[in-house]
């Protein structure tokens, strides 16, 4: 995978990831890295779903950050899939 190639990262993050500011942390990280579009959302089963598109190197940076999460979070697992970018999004934000 070329690091400059646009990719789509789909991840389900589990652990103590709801009620700890995880979605806003992820949004801030995506904004600070730049060039990332997509969304992050709390799921009914207690996980957080992340769908992000951008250059592979930017998505790798975002992935490293969400694997740790904000200080009050405890990430136990990140189930991820790399796919081809679909260019579905204009920005990055929280979905409800």
Single out the catalytic residue among 8, 16, 23, 58. Answer: 23
Query: Any catalytic annotation for residue 87?
Result: no
Single out the catalytic residue among 42, 58, 74, 95. Answer: 42
Q: Where are the beta strands (DSSP E) in 34-86?
A: 37-42, 48-55, 74-84
Give the span between the Cα atoms of 32 and 20, in whole angstroms: 20
Give the span between the Cα atoms of 52 and 58, in whole angstroms: 10
Query: Any catalytic annotation for residue 95?
Result: no
User: Among all residues, which ones are annotated catalytic?
Assistant: 23, 42
């Amino acid at each position: 995978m070329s690091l400059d190639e646009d990719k789509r990262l789909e991840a389900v993050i589990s652990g103590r990831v709801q009620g700890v500011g995880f979605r806003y942390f992820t949004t801030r990280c995506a904004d600070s890295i730049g060039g990332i579009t997509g969304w992050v959302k709390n799921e009914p089963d207690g996980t957080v779903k992340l769908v992000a598109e951008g250059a592979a190197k930017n998505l790798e940076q975002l992935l490293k950050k969400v694997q740790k999460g904000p200080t009050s979070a405890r990430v136990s697992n990140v189930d991820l899939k790399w796919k081809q970018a679909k260019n579905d999004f204009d920005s990055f934000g929280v979905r409800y």
